[in-house]
Each structure stands twice: as structure tokens, then as C-alpha cells.
Amino acid sequence: MDRSVQQFKAEFFKALAHPMRIRILEVLSQKEQNVNELQTILGSEGSAVSQQLAVLRAKNLVNSVKEGTTVVYSLRDPLISDLLVVARQIFDNHLVESITLLEDMRKQN
């Protein structure tokens, strides 16, 4: 595999390596939002949301458009939404495996 693709993937996944950034992307998967709306939805301070949005912007994961005095954010690529769905499915698969393992262990005791 080409090193530039590997480097892109590494940087891309680094950008996803924070729970609030993932939550922001999940929210933006539903519809575009401004910082105040994101702050309300996430129940977090505006400065924390703005800081995470700056990382997402720097990594080109979100677009920002100024509308008057408000900046509205959206996903740069709709496939990010699909990636988050697949990540959830992987989580669910691991959870099912863990539950099955626990049930098997209880049966043995």
C-alpha cells in the first residue's frame, strides 16, 4: 500500500481519537449545526466544542460556512457517516461476543 495513503489513514484516525469529536461527527451526520446548537446537543461548553471543531476542520473532516455572524458546520464527506455506523456495528459485535463469553462462564460455574 502506498505510504501516502497509510499516512492519510493514520492522520484521519487520529482526528477521530476523541469521544467529543466522534459525537460531533455523529450529530453533523444528521444535519448541519452551528456551535451553539452543538453545545446544547452535546451538553458541553462552547470553548470545548470549538476546540474540537478546530481539530476536525484542520483535518478536513468538516466544512464551515459563515452565515452572518454564525458559522455553520457540516460533514465534508458523507462517507464519514457510514464509517461511524460501521464502527458502531463492530462495537455491537464485540459486545455480543463478550456477553456470550460471560454467559458461557456462568454456565460453567
pLDDT tens for 58-90 read 999 999 999 999 999 999 999 999 999 999 898
Q: What is the pTM of this model?
A: 0.82
**Which cell numbers in the block locate residue 91?**
462495537
Give yes or no for a contact between 33 and 27, defined as CB atoms under 8 angstroms apart.
Answer: yes
Residues paired with 62 in a beta bridge: 75
Q: What is the pLDDT of residue 1?
A: 58
Residue 28 has pLDDT above 80, yes or no: yes
Under the banding of pLDDT at 50, 70 and 90, the label for residue 105 is confident
Q: What is the pLDDT of residue 12?
A: 92
- The DSSP secondary structure of 59-96, one letter per residue, reads TTSEEEEEETTEEEEEES-THHHHHHHHHHHHHHHHHH
**Which cell numbers in the block locate residue 15?**
482526528
* CATH T-level topology, domain 3-108: Arc Repressor Mutant, subunit A (1.10.10)
